[in-house]
Structure 1
Amino acid sequence: MKLKHYIYALGLAASLHACNDDFMERYPLDVPTDNAFWTSENDLKLFLNKFYPTWIKGHYSGWSDSNYLYPLPVKGSPLAYGDVYSDNAVRTGNEFSELGENNRIPTGSGANNNGWVWSDLRNVNYFLTHYNRADLPKETLDKYAGEAYFFKSWEYYRKVMIFGDVPWITKELNTDSEELYMPRTPRAEVMDSILLCINKAVAGLPEKGKEESGRLNKDIANFLKARICLFEGTYRKYHTELGLDGSKFLKECETACEALLGKYTLYRGDGETSYYKMFTVKGANAFSDNPEVILGRTYIPDEYGHAFQRYYDQNNSNRQAMGATRGFLEEYLCADGRPIYVGGSEGNYEVNPLFKGYGMWKELDNRDPRLTQTVCRPGEYVTIYKNGSVDLANGIEYPNISYSSSGSTVTGYRFIKHWMGDQIENDAVTKGVQAAIEFRYGELLLMYAEVEYELNGTLTQQQVDMTINALRERAGYDFNAYPTAKLMVGQEPADPRLDKIYREKLDYTVSPLLREIRRERRVELAMENRRYEDLMRWKAGNLFTVPLRGMKFTEEMQALYDGSHTDRLNGGSAAKITIGKDVYLDDEGYIICYPKSPYKQTIKGCLPWHDYRYLWPIPAEEIRLNPNLVQNPGWIEAEADK
C-alpha cells in the first residue's frame, strides 16, 4: 500500500481534534456528537482519516523536527533518527542523558513526557462506540472497524512495550467515568486483548487490491500482527521473570508471516544499489514499481511535504548530526560471509584476510555490500552536493568530526541511508516529497526466520535461503566468488568477538544460528528504528554497556585533520582537530562517544544499564491524580539512591 498525503490533508481538514491530555483525558471529545454525522460511509472515512498520520509518521511533515515521544525524544524522522537511542548510532554532545542514570521519573503530565498519553486511543474508542450507527452493510462496517482496531492494536502494543501493564479501556470516557481511576490491567490480559483487536482488523479489512486507494488492507494488518506477536512472544521467552508463556504469540506471528510469504518480493530495480535506492525515492507514486513495500507514506509535490532531507546531517548539520558506532560496523560480515575476526580470542584474534583493519575508512572495504549503502566513505554520495550546490572542484570531501551540532558526524562514520543528494528536494524546504517505508517485505522475511527459529530451535536450509540468503543476494553478495557468503545451517561462521560480548552481557546462550539471525536483522534494518525495540524484547539492554566508540584516529587521520586541509573538509571549521580538546580517544586510539558523561563507570563512553529500565516510569503527576496506578518497579528506589 502506498499511503498518499491527500488522505492526511483530508483528515486534518475535518477538524476532529482532541482536547489537551491530562489524567486519562477527563474532558469531552471535541468531535461530532450530532447523530446526523454517523449516517454515511463518508462520515466514517472522515473520522478515521486523522488516525493515519498519527500512527504512520513516515518522515513527518512540515519542518519535520517534532519530538518523537514513544518513548525516546527523537527529534525529526523516527525512521532515520530512531537508532541514535540504541547501540547503532550516537548523536551530538559530550553527554548522554535519555538512557543514562539521570533519566528520572517525569513530574509533569503524560502529555508532556514519555508516552503516557491517551487522547489517540480515546478517539479510537469513540469511533468504535459510534460507527455502527451508520446504516451500512455489515461488510462495510467491518472494514472501517478494522481500520480502528488496527490503530488501537498499534498504539496499545507500543504502550505495553514502554510501560508493561497499562489500563485497557474499551469505551469513551467522561468526566465522571470510573475508568479514570482504574488500575493498570495486567500485561497478559492487555496482550490478549491486543491480539483480539488485530485479528478483528485482519478479518474486517479488505484484501490487497480491493481496498480504496490509500487505505489499509489485510496485508498491512497481518504485517502489524506479525510484528506485535514476535515482540510479545520473544519478550516473554527471554524475560522469564514475567512467568508468561510466549508460544501462543510466536505461533500467531508465524501464521501472520505465512499469510504474506510469496505475495511480495524484494526490490531489485536498481541492481547492486537497490538497497540504498529503495529509501531515496520521492513523490506521490514513489513506490509504484517497488514490490517490497507493504506500507509506505508518500507526499504530494507542491502540496504537502516535509523538510527532512534538507536537514539530514549529510547536508546541513544544524539539526541532528550523528554517527555510526564502531560496534555497529563490526557486526557487518566481510564479502566472504565471515566476520572480521574468524578465530582466536580477544587480544589475539585471527583476522579475516579480507578485513583491512582500521583507519582512513579502510574498514569499510571488502564488507557486506549494505555497509557502504548505510555508512559512506568520504567522496561517495556527498561530494557531488555541498551546501546547496554541486561542487566537484575540491575532490573528496571529508567529514567534519565533532561532538557539537556543527559537525557532520560524531564518530567519523557518516550515515548515508535515506540520504538523497537531491538539490531539488533540498530546495523544496518544507515541501520535500521523499517517501518513507513503514512496513516492507524484507522485515517480514526476517520476522519469519526468527519466529521459526524461536518455535523450532533451528531453521531448514530452505527457510534460510528464502529469507537471510535472499536478503544477502539482493544486497550484492557474490555467492559464486565467495560460496561461504551464503549462510548454511550447521556451518555458521565462527565469531569470537560477538560471541564473547553475548556471553558477558546476556544471561542466556545465543546459538551460532540465532546469532546470525540477529546479525542479519541489525544490518538489514539499520536506520529504520527497530534496534531499540529488539534490544528490549531480547532482554539485551546490557549491550548498552559495550563501550561506544567511533573510528580509529590514526596518525594518518591526524595529519588529515592538522589544519591544512580546510578545502577538503565539510564546512572547514573543524579542519584542525586537537586530541583531548576536540575529540577524546581511548587507549587504543578510537574516538570516545559521550566522553564527559558523568556516570559511575570506569570506562568513559559507556552507558549504564539496570534491568528496571526495560519498562519506563509512569509520570508522577498521573499517579498523584490516580492513586490506583502503581509505579514500575525500580524507579522509586533508583531516584532515592541519587
Structure 2
Amino acid sequence: MMIRSKITGYIVLIAIVLEACSLITADVPLDEVAGRQVFENADSAIAAVTGIYEGIASNTNIFCGGASVYAGIYADELIYTGLSVPVVEFSNSTLTSGNTTLESIFWKNSYYFIYRTNACIEGLIASQAIGKALRDQLVGEAKFLRAMLYFHLIQYFGDVPLVTITDQSFNEHMPRTPLVVIKAAILTDLDDAVELLSPVYPTHERARVNKWCAKALLARFYLYEKNWAQAAAEATAVINSGLYQLVPADSVFLISSREALLQIQPVIKRYQTLDGQLFIPSGNIRPNFALTPALLNAFETGDKRKTSWVASKIVNGISYSYPFKYKKRPESATDVKLSEYTVLLRLAELYLIRAECRTRLGELSAAISDVDAIRQRAGLPLISNTHAGINADDLLATILHERRTEYFAELGHRWMDLKRTGQTDSVLQSLKQGWKNSAALWPIPATQISLNPSLVQNPGYY
C-alpha cells in the first residue's frame, strides 16, 4: 500500500492546504503558511503528491471510468442501455453545454487535479528542507500528472485555459489558451519529468510514476503530433528498458501485471476499480454499457482478447456483451483483497505506437514485427507468415484495427484515434443521428462560461 503507515498524520493538514474548488473560476482557500509546512517535511511532501493519485482513485474522472465509458459511447464502441439524459447525450453524440456529467467528470475534476499538481510543484520548488533526489522525484511526478491531464483535456475540448499556478486572482479570468501553447507546455512538463524521475519506481508497486512512464506518454504525444521518428525512439526506449513484458490477456489488468507501466491503486472501500463497477452488471440487471455489434465483429476468430476481455449476459431474452477487462465489482465485505488496479499506461501501446511510426517511416519489416508481438499475445496468425508483403497503407489499417481491438473501452483510445486520424465524420456520420462536424469537439460547460466570461464556446454550441 502507498506508504500509508507514514503519512496518516498529515492527511488533515494536506487536505486543508491542497483542497481546491473544482472550478478554475472559484476561490481556493490555500493557506500559505500551512502550505510551506507541508513541503518542509519529507513524509508530508510525499503525502501531498501521493494524495493526487488517491484523489484520482476516489471518484469517476478522465482516468478512472470517465473516458472509458463516456468517450466509448460517444464513439462507436458502446451502447448505453439506460435513460439518463446526460448520458444519452453522450451516446447520441449530441452534447449540450449544460450536460452535468460532462462538466463534473471531464472539466471540474480535471482542473481540481491540475490545481493540486500546481500546488505541489510550487511548494516543492520553494522548499529548502527536502533533499534534491526526493524533490526531483515528486516534482517529476506532479509534472507528469499535469501533462497527462492536459493531454486528455485538449482531446475533448481543444483549447482550454492553461493553468500552471495557484493564484486564483489570475486563474479565474483566464481565457482559453491556444492549442500550440498548451502542447508546448505538455512537452516541457514531460521533458522535465524524464530528467527528474528515476527509472526505478518509488514504491514496490507500479502505482506511482517513474521515468519510463514519462517516456511512454512522450511517445504518445509525438505520435499525435506526427513526429514519427521521435515517437518511435521514445517507444523503443521503454520497450528496451527490460522492465516490462507482454503478458497473457487475463493477466494484463492484475496488480502483478508486468505489462503495466502505471496503475492507479483503488482507495474506495469494497471497490477494486471504477471501470469494473461501471461496466460489470450486478445480479439480473442488464449492463448499462454494452459493446456495439461493429466492435464485436471487429475481433478475428480465435482472438484471446475477446475471450478474456468480453463477457455476455442474457436479460429478458436479450443478449448483451460488455467490457470485462476488469473482472471485479464492489463487494459486500469491507476487507476486500485487492487483485486489480486501474491501468493508465501499458506496454502494448508502445509496440503499436512504434509499429505505426515505423510504417510511416517506411520500415515495414520492423513494423510487422511489432504488430506480430501483439497478435501473438492475442493468439492470432502472424502477419509475417500470412501477409509478409503487405503494403504500407494496408499495414497502417491493420495497426489501427489492432488498436481498436486492443484498447476498446479503455481510456478513450478509440475516440482519440478517430480524431487524430481524421475519421470522426466518416465513421460516426452513419451511426449517430444528427452527427455534425462540430461534434469532434465537446462544448465548454455553460456554467464555466457564466463564471468566467473570458471563456469562448466551441463552434456549434451555445
TM range (shorter): 0.7 to 0.9
Per-residue deviation at 1:208? 2.2
1:81-96 alignment, distance < 5 Å: 83-93=72-82, 96=88
Match for 2:152: what amino acid?
Answer: R
The structure with the largest alpha-carbon Rg is 1
Give the structure 1 partner of residue 344 of structure 2: 438
Contact 1:166-1:184 at 8 Å conserved across structures: yes
Describe the SS at the equivalent of 2:107: coil
Alpha-carbon distance, 1:256 to partner:
1.9
Q: Provide, for residues 354-390 of structure 1, a one-character-per-residue CA deviation record: whole Å limited to 9, x for no partner.
A: xxxxxxxxxxxx44333323335x7xxxxxxxxxxxx
1:40–1:136 contact (8 Å) kept in structure 2 = yes
> Out of 367, 376, 389, which is 1:473 matched to?
376
Aligned to 2:368: 464
CA deviations over 1:398-433 (Å, ceiling 9, x no partner): 72267xxxx7x5xx435443336x9xx855478362
Tell me, yes or no, if structure 1 residue 518 matches structure 2 residue 400.
Answer: yes
The alignment partner of 1:413 has SS state of: strand
Question: Whole-Å Cα distance in 1 between the matches of residues 316 and 6 of structure 2?
Answer: 39
Q: Is the 8 A contact 1:207 1:219 kept in 2?
A: yes
CA 1:51–1:89: 2 relative to 1, 3 Å: same
Deviations along 1:276-316, one digit per CA (max 9) or x if unpaired, are 3433x4xxxx31xx332212234599897568757753543
Do residues 399 (structure 1) and 390 (structure 2) align?
Answer: no
Separation in 2 of the partners of 1:316 and 1:20? 37
Counterpart position of 1:253: 231
Q: C-alpha separation between the residues in 2 aligned to 1:525 and 1:7?
A: 36
Paired residue secondary structure (2:239):
coil
Contact 1:399 1:414 in 2 (8 A): no
Counterpart in the other structure of 1:154: 148
Cα pair distance change 1:624/1:544, threshold 3 Å: same
- The structure 1 residue matched to 2:443, chosen from 598, 607, 617, is 617
The SS at the match of 1:399 is strand
- Give how far 1:609 is off: 2.1
1:337-486 paired onto structure 2 within 5 Å: 366-376=301-311, 399-400=314-315, 409=319, 412-419=320-327, 426-428=331-333, 431=336, 433-436=338-341, 437-454=343-360, 456=361, 458-465=362-369, 467-477=370-380, 486=385
1:459–1:489 CA contact under 8 A, matched in 2: no
- Amino acid in structure 2 at the alignment position of 1:490: G
Distance change >3 Å, CA 310–CA 159, structure 1 → 2: closer
TM-score normalised by L of structure 2 = 0.83
Matching residue's letter, 2:366: Q
Q: 1:401 to 1:629 in 2, by over 3 A?
A: same
Matching residue of 2:159:
165
What SS does structure 1 have at the residue aligned with 2:263?
Answer: strand
**SS of the residue aligned with 2:262?**
strand
- Which amino acid counterpart does residue 378 of structure 2 have in structure 1? A
CA distance in 2, matches of 1:260, 1:144: 21
Equivalents in 1 of 2:119, 2:112: separation in Å?
10
- Asked if 2 retains the 8 angstrom alpha-carbon contact of 1:168 and 1:185, the reply is yes
The runs of 5 or more residues in structure 1 that have no matched partner are 234-245, 269-273, 334-365, 379-397, 493-509, 548-605, 637-642
Distance 1:440 1:613 in 2: 29
Q: What CA distance in whole angstroms lies between the structure 1 residues aligned with 2:95 and 2:5?
A: 38
CA–CA distance in structure 1, aligned partners of residues 31 and 379 of structure 2: 53
Kept in 2, the 8 Å contact 1:88–1:325? The answer is: yes
More helix by share: 2
RMSD: 3.7
| Secondary structure, aligned partner of 1:97 | helix
Which amino acid is 2:373 matched to? Answer: A
Q: CA deviation at 1:69?
A: 5.9
Cα distance in 1 between the residues matched to 2:308 and 2:324: 7
Task: Give aligned pairs, total.
Answer: 448
1:571-590 aligned within 5 A: none
**Of the candidates 204, 212, 218, which is equivalent to residue 213 of structure 1?**
204
Given residue 400 of structure 1, which amino acid in structure 2 is its aligned partner?
A: V
Could you tell me whether the CA contact under 8 Å between 1:92 and 1:322 is conserved in 2? yes
Aligned match of 2:138: 144
TM-score (norm 1): 0.61
Cα deviation digits, residues 230-268 of structure 1 (max 9, x gap)? 23x1xxxxxxxxxxxx43xx4442332121122245444
Q: Distance in 1 between matches of 2:338 and 2:293?
A: 32
1:326 alignment counterpart: 293
Residue 176 of structure 2 corresponds to residue 184 of structure 1: yes
Structure 1: distance between partners of 2:69 and 2:326 = 7
CA distance in 2, matches of 1:515, 1:308: 28
Does the CA contact (< 8 Å) of 1:308 and 1:432 recur in 2?
A: no
| Equivalence for 1:491 | 390
Structure 2 gap ranges (5+): none
Q: Is the 8 A contact 1:5 1:297 kept in 2?
A: no
Say which is worse superposed, 214-223 or 150-159, in terms of deviation.
Answer: 214-223
Q: Measured at CA, do residues 294 and 431 of structure 1 come closer, stay the same or move farther in structure 2, by a change above 3 Å? A: same
Q: State the AA in 1 paired with 2:162.
A: W
Question: Residue 212 of structure 2 contacts residue 261 of structure 2 at CA under 8 Å; is this kept in 1?
Answer: yes
Name 2:15's counterpart in structure 1: 15
| Equivalent position SS for 1:294 | strand
Q: Which amino acid aligns with 1:475?
A: A
Measured after TM superposition, the shift of residue 486 of structure 1 is 4.2
Aligned to 1:201: 193
274, 284, 292: which one aligns with 2:259: 292
AA aligned to 2:305 is R
Structure-1 separation of matches of 2:277 and 2:100: 33
* Secondary structure of 2:137 counterpart: helix
CA 1:151–1:25 in 2, change beyond 3 Å: closer, same or farther? Answer: farther
Alpha-carbon shift at residue 193 of structure 1 (Å): 1.1
CA distance in 2, matches of 1:309, 1:27: 33
Q: In the alignment, what sits opposite 2:416?
A: 533
